[in-house]
Structure 1
Amino acid sequence: MTLTELRYIVALAQEGRFSRAAERCSVSQPTLSVAIQRLEEDLGVILFERGKGQVTLTDVGEQVVAQAARALEEADRVRQIAHRGRNQLEGGLKLGVIHTIGPYLLPELIVSLRQIAPDMPLAIEENMTATLADMLRHGEVDAAILALPFELPGVVTRPLYDEPFKVVVPQGHPWQGKQEIASDEVDAEEVLLLKAGNCFRDQVMDACPQISGSDTEVRQGHSIETIRCMVASGFGLSVLPAGALCKPYSTDLISVVPFKAPAPSRRVALAWRVGFTRPKAVEALCQAVGLIDNPSYLHVR
């Protein structure tokens, strides 16, 4: 049984005459007739009742032709999938991104990506680095945007940009309006941090030596936005990535104080599996990030 034979019986069932079915399939009438007869012999059933110039489906023939039509549709889908596979910039891409990057980078990234790959929509998974590592390893995401260092066997990374950290204080704080601050001045007594398990928390603690690991619950938040609200309410100060301090996320209730040079920062990178079959999609993501004109990101060239 071949797809060609299935096409022949579907055409004959729809046309009702051997001559019209043969013309539709671009073959001679004897070729089509012999092929259908061979299929009937192979199946051991009669599919068509032959009359003078006219054919009619048998009961079993109706069932076989209906199944043949579905099989031809599925075969066509296989071709469509293969066609999309030839164009690496066509079809959805599963992109992971960590919580402290996603809300601030993605709006601009999606806009710039549409210029490069308009037929490659992003299915976005926002999660913590450890979870994204597992998802990347098991093929649940195709690529992930996260902060370095990041090492995983079978996975490669490409730096995208460096993002400086900045101090945020509430209105009326003694540091409001200060031109810059040294990292060792950030006092552990009033700093607000993300909860344990978040890589940005670890980076802030590494950057500011005065911050100890013995934090109490009241000085921790689940997200950057929660911490921003706590600072705005006057509960303390914090250190946030520069990308999270641009509009529409900035507010008059907090003031931003840059660090003295060299300012602490994080390097953001794209990670993907070594054997990923769409390298052009990876390149398109990198190019799209490079198109973003945001002073908070210092692009790695």
Structure 2
Amino acid sequence: MLNLPTLRQWRYLVALAEIRHFGKAAEACFVTQSTLSAGIQELETQLGAALVDRTKRKVVLTPLGEELAGRARELLREAEEMVLLARAAAAPLSGPLRLGVIPTISPFLLPRVLPALRRRFPDLRLFLREDLTARLVDQLQAGKLDLLLIALPYEGGALDTLELFDDEFMVACRSDHVLTKRQSVKLDDLADAPLLLLEDGHCLRDHALAACRLPPSPRRDGFAATSLHTLVQMVDSGLGVTLLPRLALDAGILRGTEVTTRPLANEGKAKAPARHIGLAWRRGTQRAKEFTLFGEALVAALKQPVSESQSKTA
């Protein structure tokens, strides 16, 4: 029988591969530098091959060390999922859950649903990371996140997804804008409008354009915002019109402004233009049932009256 390395030794190698510094890698593993160094040396002895080239200036992994560090990441991820799967069998959604959320969802949805989620799953330890979709997907695939709450569809990566609900787009403009004279706004009315959008990289921009069948580069007059709050202030200043999701409107993003909204005309469609809010996780994970349960609980919490979900505490 082979004398197999321990998970601790593989964790030392992965930390060293990611940080490239013995002292800082040791801190990340909560051990002394001598302990981590000895663990790497023992690993090399067991394998009969060099994994790290040690120099005074920097740490360089050998080609074999790089390959084994990549495989070790997958090994540690699988070992972690096995433990979490066992816990979930006894008590679903207990223990840590690392959730990534995009910034056009996080501040508008989470305050409404987190109190109810805490009441239903008191042993759930939720760790949140807010970032753009592409970076969240990278962190998910690297094993640094467990689950994503994003806008769908998203093309890229081996992901399984679960759609939760539609988030309707509304046209937002100043109360003195000509569009406020209409009950609803047709898509053609936006084709030549000074349409303000989030900067490139925000999926809300792409989803809004796709849902409204607008060209990839509509007239923008040189302006782009980094957040929905900034976008609202730009519209309030009379710089143009924009498209806002219902989630943000329900959360009161227009409060204190002269901005008002009008629905987009369906124009023969069964549904109004919208983005799809959903969950995404690594394909093949053993926690798919647990993540589905989380999605169902999130939708149930969202259906509670706003006053109820915000007034009660966990």
> TM-score, length-normalised on structure 1?
0.64
- Give the deviation of 1:212 after TM superposition: 5.4
1:196 match: 200
Q: Residues 275-290 of structure 1: matches in 2 within 5 Å? A: 275-290=284-299
- Change in Cα spacing, 1:180 to 1:150, as seen in structure 2 (3 Å) is same
**What's the CA shift string for 1:10-34, capped at 9, x where partnerless?**
xxxxxxxxxxxxxxxxxxxxxxxxx
* Counterpart selection for 2:174 from 170, 174, 192: 170
2:186 match: 182
- Change in Cα spacing, 1:152 to 1:192, as seen in structure 2 (3 Å) is closer
Partners of 1:250 and 1:124 in 2: CA distance: 25
2:211 match: 207
- Change in Cα spacing, 1:212 to 1:290, as seen in structure 2 (3 Å) is closer
Partners of 2:184 and 2:217 in 1: CA distance: 25
Percent of aligned pairs with the same residue?
Answer: 33
Partners of 1:196 and 1:138 in 2: CA distance: 24
SS, match of residue 98 in structure 2: strand
Amino acid of the structure 1 residue aligned with 2:275: R
2:125 match: 121
1:293 match: 303
Question: In terms of Rg, which structure is larger?
Answer: 1
Partners of 1:184 and 1:217 in 2: CA distance: 18
- Give the deviation of 1:209 after TM superposition: 4.6
Partners of 2:164 and 2:190 in 1: CA distance: 28
SS, match of residue 136 in structure 1: helix
* Counterpart selection for 1:159 from 158, 163, 179: 163
Aligned pair count?
216
Amino acid of the structure 2 residue aligned with 1:122: L
CA contact (8 A) 2:232 2:254 kept: no
* Counterpart selection for 1:93 from 94, 97, 106: 97
Matched, 1:266 2:270: no
- Give the deviation of 1:152 after TM superposition: 4.6
SS, match of residue 168 in structure 2: strand
CA contact (8 A) 2:98 2:129 kept: yes
CA contact (8 A) 2:195 2:241 kept: yes
- Give the deviation of 1:151 after TM superposition: 4.3
Matched, 1:108 2:112: yes
CA contact (8 A) 2:166 2:275 kept: yes
Amino acid of the structure 2 residue aligned with 1:293: K
**What's the CA shift string for 1:199-252, capped at 9, x where partnerless?**
111122223455551655742111111101111122211011111111432325
SS, match of residue 219 in structure 1: coil
- Change in Cα spacing, 1:211 to 1:237, as seen in structure 2 (3 Å) is farther
Q: Residues 28-107 of structure 1: matches in 2 within 5 Å? A: 86-107=90-111
Partners of 1:154 and 1:175 in 2: CA distance: 42
Partners of 1:107 and 1:282 in 2: CA distance: 20
1:46 match: none
Amino acid of the structure 2 residue aligned with 1:222: T
2:30 match: none
**What's the CA shift string for 1:136-173, capped at 9, x where partnerless?**
11111100011222245542111101111110001211
Partners of 1:179 and 1:214 in 2: CA distance: 23
Partners of 2:181 and 2:141 in 1: CA distance: 46
CA contact (8 A) 2:108 2:251 kept: no
RMSD: 2.6
Partners of 1:218 and 1:133 in 2: CA distance: 29
CA contact (8 A) 2:197 2:220 kept: no
Amino acid of the structure 1 residue aligned with 2:172: V
SS, match of residue 201 in structure 2: coil
CA contact (8 A) 1:113 1:284 kept: no
CA contact (8 A) 1:90 1:117 kept: yes
Partners of 2:226 and 2:219 in 1: CA distance: 14
- Give the deviation of 1:281 after TM superposition: 3.5
Question: Where in structure 1 are there 5+ consecutive unaligned residues?
Answer: 1-80, 296-301
Partners of 2:150 and 2:178 in 1: CA distance: 34
* Counterpart selection for 1:256 from 253, 258, 261: 261
